[in-house]
Amino acid sequence: MPVTDLPDFAGDLLEEFEARRTVRVNTPVIQPAEPFLDMAGEDLRRRIFLTESETGASLCLRPEFTIPVCLRHIETATGTPRRYSYLGEVFRQRREGSHEFYQAGIEDLGEGDTAAADARAIGDAMGILGRLLPGRALALTLGDQAVFEAVVRALGLPLGWQKRLIHAFGDMAHLEALLDRLARPQPVAGLEPQIAALLASGEEDELVARIDRTMQETGYSTNASRPPIEIARRLKDKLALAETRLDGGALLLLREFLTLRLPLADASSALAGFADAAGLDLDPALAWFDARLAALTESGLDLSGMTYRAAFGRPLDYYTGLVFEVTETGSSAVLAGGGRFDRLLTLLGAKDRIPAVGFALWLDRIEQARDQE
């Protein structure tokens, strides 16, 4: 599909957006790069196209719509709840080899009933795909960032390790590497013997003095962005994380959780059973999960084609709860994907917390699926 040509079903998409009471919005193709570099995740950061303004400000070609739509919402001081839709080009390197392609989607901002909003996002994605691909069997994979975070926190790991594991959610290879390190701690390499000895002794004042002398002698102190005491504390934290070992039972529980994969209708009872057997308090996260499942059921959606996978995440750092993807049954090509991002608007500068959920549609993949009918 030439990127300059909208697909022939664009009119159907716009009708769907209007019927679902969304406000269509467009955003500039040139965007400030910082929000994407800070919040979008390593996978996207590697694939965006960067440039600079005349004043040296870091800019990029629009790699996705969620962050630009949220920034526009904040800048225009629009009240909530508010439902936005979009259809336009995005620019990033893709595994398929293309660099520019069309995306469409809906961002649902400020809906207080998060379970109902989650169910509506899934229903909208499935409903729109059902119109664009009539008669096709669709499969939905659902994960939950909040449930994974609850499991990690309940295991009692240091905060630094919790952040590492949560950051890796959805990247199973990275997660497995971290779990291997927790099973077999590795010493911190590259430390001077005197620094290592001071770290081991716990003498913080002497450690800070030693770092300060080294910085003075090397001339590093004139360009350093951190003072010696902060460097010392970061070294102590790094050493503590490197020496952390997750006992075999806890490691086994975490690995067992990550293997959970079952029909969505059976997921609530399976998660509750896992929590009881493991002795973990996951009640708040499971309550949200159960509320979402009830909302999906009440909305009349067919759960038979939906699968819960505990290890499933999406490669964007801003997700906080629900994550999902839709494919055609028997295909691996993702046609739609999205999730909940309740922290994103606050991080982007909103004065108040704004709950949010949304999804994107990959139009070139949908067109390919239509052509294969």
Crossing angle between the packed helical segments 114-132 and 363-371, to the nearest 10 degrees = 40
In contact, 117 and 355? CB cutoff 8 Å: yes
Cβ-proximal residues to 318 (8 Å cutoff; 6+ apart), any chain: 39, 40, 41, 66, 67, 341, 343, 344, 347
Separation of alpha carbons 257 and 195, rounded Å: 39
The reply, when asked if residue 84 is annotated as ligand binding, is no
The reply, when asked if residue 75 is annotated as ligand binding, is no
362's enclosing H/E stretch is: strand 356-362
Separation of alpha carbons 265 and 142, rounded Å: 11
Separation of alpha carbons 315 and 326, rounded Å: 15
Separation of alpha carbons 160 and 82, rounded Å: 36
The reply, when asked if residue 318 is annotated as ligand binding, is yes
The reply, when asked if residue 66 is annotated as ligand binding, is yes
The reply, when asked if residue 319 is annotated as ligand binding, is yes
| Token pair belonging to 289 | 């999960």
Separation of alpha carbons 206 and 237, rounded Å: 17
Cβ-proximal residues to 105 (8 Å cutoff; 6+ apart), any chain: 65, 66, 85, 86, 336, 338, 358, 359, 360, 361
In contact, 127 and 154? CB cutoff 8 Å: no
| Binding-site residue positions | 64-66, 92, 103, 107, 314, 318-319
| Binding-site residue positions for L-histidine | 64-66, 92, 103, 107, 314, 318-319
